[in-house]
A = this chain, B = another copy of it.
Amino acid sequence: MTRPSDLTRQSLVAAALAVFAEKGFEAGSIREITRRAKANQAAVTYHFGGKEGLYREVLRSAVAAFEESALVDEETAAALPREEALARFVRQQLVPLAKRDQFSRYVRLFAWEHVSGTKVFRDFIATENLPILSVAGRLVRRYLPADASPEEVAVTTVWLINQPSAFVRDSEHLTGPPLNLTLDQAFVDRLAGTLTALIDAGLSARSARGAPAS
Cβ–Cβ contact A115 & B178, under 8 A = no
Q: Which residue of chain B is the closest to A161 with respect to CB atoms?
A: B166
State A155–B151 Cα separation when bound (angstroms).
29
Q: Mark A147-188, 1 if CB is under 8 A from B, else 0.
A: 000011011101100110011011011101111010000010
Cβ–Cβ contact A158 & B179, under 8 A = yes
Cβ–Cβ contact A117 & B173, under 8 A = yes
Cβ–Cβ contact A117 & B156, under 8 A = no
Cβ–Cβ contact B195 & A206, under 8 A = no
Q: Which residue of chain B is the closest to A111 with respect to CB atoms?
A: B115
Give chain A's interface secondary structure class: helix
**A65 interface residue per 8 A CB criterion:** no
Known: A115-B169, A151-B181, A169-B115. A174 touches B158 (CB 8 A): yes
Interface 9-residue window, one of A9-17, A36-44, A53-61, A196-204 = A196-204
**A78 interface residue per 8 A CB criterion:** no
Cβ–Cβ contact B202 & A206, under 8 A = no
Number of copies: 2
**A190 interface residue per 8 A CB criterion:** yes
Q: Which residue of chain B is the closest to A178 with respect to CB atoms?
A: B125
State A200–B201 Cα separation when bound (angstroms).
9
Q: Within the complex, what minimum Cβ distance (angstroms) separates A207 from chain B?
A: 10
Cβ–Cβ contact A201 & B194, under 8 A = no
Cβ–Cβ contact A202 & B197, under 8 A = yes
9 sample A-B contacts, Cβ–Cβ < 8 Å, listed by A number: A116-B170, A151-B190, A152-B194, A156-B198, A158-B166, A158-B179, A159-B195, A197-B209, A198-B202
What 18 additional pairs, Cβ within 8 angstroms, besides A151-B190, A197-B202?
A: A26-B27, A115-B170, A117-B170, A126-B178, A151-B181, A154-B179, A156-B194, A158-B166, A158-B173, A158-B174, A158-B179, A159-B163, A159-B198, A162-B162, A194-B206, A197-B206, A201-B202, A202-B202
